[in-house]
Amino acid sequence: MDMETPKVVTREQWLKARLELLAAEKEFTHQRDSLTRRRMAMPWERVEKNYVFDTTEGQRTLAELFEGRRQLLVQHFMLGPGWEQGCKSCSFMADHIDGMTVHLAHRDVTMLAISRAPLAEIERFRSRMGWQFKWVSSYDGDFNHDFGVSFTPEEVAKGKVTYNYSSTWPHPHEELPGVSVFYKDDAGTVFHTYSTYGRGVEVMMGTYNMLDLTPKGRDEDHLKFTMEWVRHHDRYEPVAKAAATISCCAHT
């Protein structure tokens, strides 16, 4: 967005405004905590199908992807068969994973990405991007379709798909993003506990949280679409350095 000329005030006026905003922030935090409790209280559904994935260690079932933990977080990464590279926005999300995995593991959570592309295509792109997190292929399986992130050409041709629990999603593609959560009990039964799509996947975008703290914010209002600015992290142009400020009393 275009920045308006900032209002410059005294310290006392700034502090008054900050305390007013702080009250609103605390209210929002409490609302978020309440929403989190509702999410945790959601009923579960048993995963009945025996989904099998191609991994670098061979074929693994969904239950085996937990790697001994009870909880599994999945990024539904938009990388379809034959694609030259993964989706830029999904890559932006995935850039945040490697720093989280060790912390999640110590809270009984395994996190990984799943795409419909064959494993060799996934590994080629993962190597290019330098990511270390586990990424498996659901190629030839129903997993992506069943969890609402992959669609047949016939479905796309209708001009709308059922995405984010809506049958009128106006931007149909064969692949769309999402995040899903699963739980495995002591008997080895897997349950689907939660999925989020659309703007819900911003939960993975820590960069946006930081931008939201700045005066310019996300600065996307003038773009054709919100994430038009995003690039694969190895495809950005070098960031120009600010010109050095020369003091009028600098010594030579």
pLDDT tens by residue, 199-215: 999 999 999 999 999 99
Name 58's bridge partners.
Answer: 55
Q: Above 80 in pLDDT, residue 250?
A: no
pLDDT tens by residue, 48-69: 999 999 999 999 999 999 999 9
CATH superfamily, domain 44-206, is Glutaredoxin (3.40.30.10)
Longest dimension (CA), the chain: 76
pLDDT of res. 241: 72
pLDDT tens by residue, 137-183: 999 999 999 999 999 999 999 888 899 998 788 788 999 999 999 99
Closest CA relative to residue 101, chosen from 54, 129, 67, 76: 67
As a 3-state breakdown, the chain gives helix, strand, coil percent values, each rounded to 5, of 30, 20, 50
Where does the pLDDT of residue 243 fall: very low under 50, low under 70, confident under 90, or very high at 90 and above?
Answer: low
